[in-house]
Chains A and B, each alone.
Chain A
Amino acid sequence: MLLIECPYCGERPEPEFVYGGQAHIARPPDPAQLSAQQWARYLYLRDNPRGVHAERWRHTHGCGRFFNALRDTRSDHFLATYKVGEAPPQAAKDSR
């Protein structure tokens, strides 16, 4: 079970959270202009790295808010959590 630091509430156990998949995927502003390949990329392609992964979590049984995290998928160690709209902390990213 992971211990996850919600940027609003602090450290809480994993069952309070819901995983939200890869972070920083922006919906294309005009889907009709995309090719099938580009649309499939938006819908289905994910990074799935063996290493540092930027991902969304939601503190469902707490403040209810979404936030982002950097986690190393080789160890499940959280490098950082940060609020939606913020850029991933550079120091944590560099440690990959």
Chain B
Amino acid sequence: MQRFSALSLLRRGLAGQRGWQPQWRHAEPKAAYDALIVGGGGHGLGTAYYLASEHRLTNIAVLEKGWIGSGNTGRNTTIIRSNYLFPESAALYDHAVKLWESLSQRLNYNVMFSQRGVLMLAHTVHDMQVAKRHVHANRAAGVDNEWLTPRAAQAFCPLLNIGEIRYPVLGAALQRRGGTARHDAVAWGYARAADALGVDIIENCEVTGIRRDASGAVEGVETTRGTIRAPRVGVAAAGHTSVILKMADVELPLESYPLQALVSEPVKPVFPCVVMSNTIHAYISQSDKGELVIGAGTDAYTSYTQRGGPHITSHALEAICELFPMFRRMRMLRCWGGIVDVTPDRSPIIGKSGVPGLYVNCGWGTGGFKATPGSAHVFAWTIARDEPHPLNAPFTLERFRDGNLIDEAAAAAVAH
């Protein structure tokens, strides 16, 4: 792997940017591996990276049906935060935030992690009660979160309109360690680092079946590029997890919905933080490229189309225009949808599937990007040791049978 440094950038720059190598190999599938990861998004690529770097499993491959980062990794609004209500979730998401803080250095790849602060607005008395409960719960769990008055919220985000709107801003919860990162760079950085450790990243390779031996254990997968054998298969396929797991007759409590986002034309730096409003439903930040990145809600119905209704995005824009009147004349450049797998308690499922050798990491719903490093880290542990890491131990599939739900509907932020 060619390492990046100020010196290497300068040297290549003076040489006319010639001599750069591809960031990862164009791998052909081998007949067998020690483990396979299905899904080449941030979670899957990160899992492969941690399997190789921390568990010394290097004879592994990541199978991606399209190109890496083409699913929800490239479709989200890049918001990172860990202000979830319950101790299990706060610990898991904060594990991710801690990994984010050193991820660029660790991968030698700039993921542009920016802790610019996430402001979550309250517009009703009920909002205030819920937000304050989150603030106190987070502080008790060692996760930073603070309550701001409307004036203090406006001081933190000067563009915010706190008064002249249908639902005035009554206060806000601020997580200063929250922020954004460059989503594509996360996929590319993990891919590059995993590839350097010997991991095969195989694109345009769709899994069409899961092979099992006489005892029922996993022995490999069928793909559009032939059979690949492996005693362990980890699935990180987001909205398509139900489809993959059905190949092994595993049923999951998931429903797949379209979630839409959109970006504006790029403008000069104008927006200093991330603002989210659950009640009037919109969230917004500005990318380093200058685009306003705006998140809308999920569509009402399950779908795999990667698109949604325009009334969903216009609803989000109406909220943005109320909160930030100066954006009323901004033009939107693109909008798109990603398919998110939603669980009944809005918390992920990370662990064993019930089929020996088959592991699943799914159910991140509308908020998986923020968890990418933490999710990948504990999932790699689970696959390597055939037992959950203490942080993902509560996030089993069995919790639905046993009634140990981790109900994060309020913290999940996106209305669904």
The residues of A with any CB-CB pair to B shorter than 8 Å are: 1-2, 14-15, 17-19, 21, 36-37, 40-41, 43-46, 48-50, 53, 55, 71, 73-76
B226-251 CB mask vs A (1 if < 8 Å, else 0) is 00000000000000101100000001
Per a CB cutoff under 8 Å, which of A36, A37, A71 touches B301?
A71
**11 other contacts beyond A14-B309, A15-B311, A43-B400, with CB at 8 A cut-off?**
A14-B300, A18-B300, A40-B400, A45-B251, A48-B242, A48-B256, A49-B242, A50-B242, A50-B243, A71-B301, A73-B303
| Chain A positions within 8 Å of B309 at CB level | 1-2, 14
Q: Is the CB of A55 within 8 A of B301?
A: yes
Assess the A53–B311 pair: CB atoms within 8 A: no
Rounded to whole angstroms, the CA-CA distance of A76 and B308 in the bound complex is: 10
Which B residues lie within 8 Å of A36 (CB)?
401-403
Q: Choose from A21, A40, A50 the contact partner of B240 (Cβ within 8 Å).
A: A50
B304 touches A (CB below 8 Å): yes
Given contacts A19-B300, A73-B302, A76-B305, contact A44 B344 (CB under 8 A): yes
A2-B309, A14-B311, A37-B401 given; A44·B253 CB < 8 A: yes
> Which residues of B sit under 8 angstroms from A53, Cβ to Cβ?
302
Return A47 CB to nearest CB of chain B, in Å. 8
* Residues of B close to A48: CB separation below 8 A: 242, 252, 254-256, 302
Contacts of B254 in A (CB 8 A): 46, 48
Using known A-B contacts A14-B309, A76-B305, determine if residue A46 contacts B401 with beta carbons closer than 8 Å: no
Q: Which of A1, A45, A50, A71 has the most CB of B within 10 A?
A: A50
> In chain B between 245 and 284, which residues have their CB closer than 8 angstroms to a CB of chain A?
251-256
Q: Smallest CB–CB gap between B239 and chain A, Å? A: 9
Instruction: Determine whether the beta carbon of B310 is less than 8 Å from that of A1.
Output: yes
State the 9 A-B residue pairs at the shortest beta-carbon distance, nearest first: A44-B253, A19-B300, A48-B242, A1-B309, A40-B401, A19-B301, A44-B400, A50-B304, A50-B243
| Residue from the list B304, B305, B311 in contact with A1, Cβ < 8 A | B311
| Complexed CA–CA distance, A21 and B403 (Å) | 22
SS of B interface (majority): loop
Question: Considering only CB atoms, which chain B residue lies closest to A74 in the complex?
Answer: B304
With A and B bound together, what is the CA distance between A89 and B200 in angstroms?
47
Q: How far is the CB of B400 from chain A (nearest CB, A)?
A: 5
User: Do the beta carbons of A74 and B400 come within 8 Å of each other?
Assistant: no
Q: How far is the CB of B258 from chain A (nearest CB, A)?
A: 9
**Closest chain A residue, CB of each to CB of B251:** A45
Q: How long is the Cα–Cα vector from A55 to B303 in the complex, in angstroms?
A: 12
Give the docked Cα–Cα distance between A49 and B247 (Å): 12
CA distance A17 to B255 in the complex (A): 19
| CB of B342, distance to nearest CB on chain A (Å) | 10
For A14, the closest partner residue in chain B by CB is B309
In the complex, what's the smallest C-beta–C-beta distance from B233 to chain A, in angstroms? 19
Instruction: Point out the residue from B305, B310, B402 that lies within 8 Å of A74, measured CB to CB.
Output: B305
B142 vs chain A, min Cβ distance (A): 31
Task: Tell me, in angstroms, the Cα distance from A44 to B401 when the chains sit together.
Answer: 9
How near does chain A come to B357, taking the closest CB pair, in angstroms?
22
Residues of A within 8 A of B301 (CB): 2, 19, 55, 71, 76
- By a CB distance below 8 angstroms, the chain A residues around B252 are 45, 48
Which residues of A have CB within 8 Å of B302? 48, 53, 55, 73
Q: How far is the CA of A75 from the CA of B301 in the complex (A)?
A: 12
Q: How close is B167's CB to chain A, nearest CB, in angstroms?
A: 21
Residues in chain B near residue A43, CB distance under 8 A: 344, 400
State the Cβ distance, A5 to closest chain B Cβ, in Å: 15
Q: In the complex, what's the smallest C-beta–C-beta distance from A31 to chain B, in angstroms?
A: 14
A49 cross-chain contacts in B, Cβ below 8 A = 242-243
Asked whether A45 and B240 contact (CB < 8 A) given A18-B300, A75-B305, the answer is: no
- Chain B: CB-nearest residue to A1: B309
Q: Which residues of B contact A71 (CB under 8 A)?
A: 301
Residue of B nearest to A15 (CB): B311
CB-CB contacts below 8 Å: B293-309 with A: 300-305, 309
Q: Please name all residues of chain A whose beta carbon is closer than 8 Å to the beta carbon of B400 when the two chains form the complex.
A: 40, 43-44
Q: Considering the chains assembled together, what is the distance between the CA atoms of A36 and B398 in angstroms?
A: 10
Instruction: Report how far A48 CA is from B237 CA in the complex, Å.
Output: 14
In Å, the complex CA distance between A42 and B45 comes to: 34
Give Cα distance in the complex from A20 to B251, angstroms. Answer: 21
Chain A residues with CB under 8 A of B240? 50
Partner of A46, one of B243, B255, B300, B311: B255
B408 → chain A, closest Cβ, in Å? 15
A76 contact set on B, CB distance < 8 A? 301, 303, 305
- In the complex, residue of chain B having the shortest beta-carbon distance to the beta carbon of A18: B300
B305 and A73 contacting across the interface, CB-CB below 8 Å:
yes
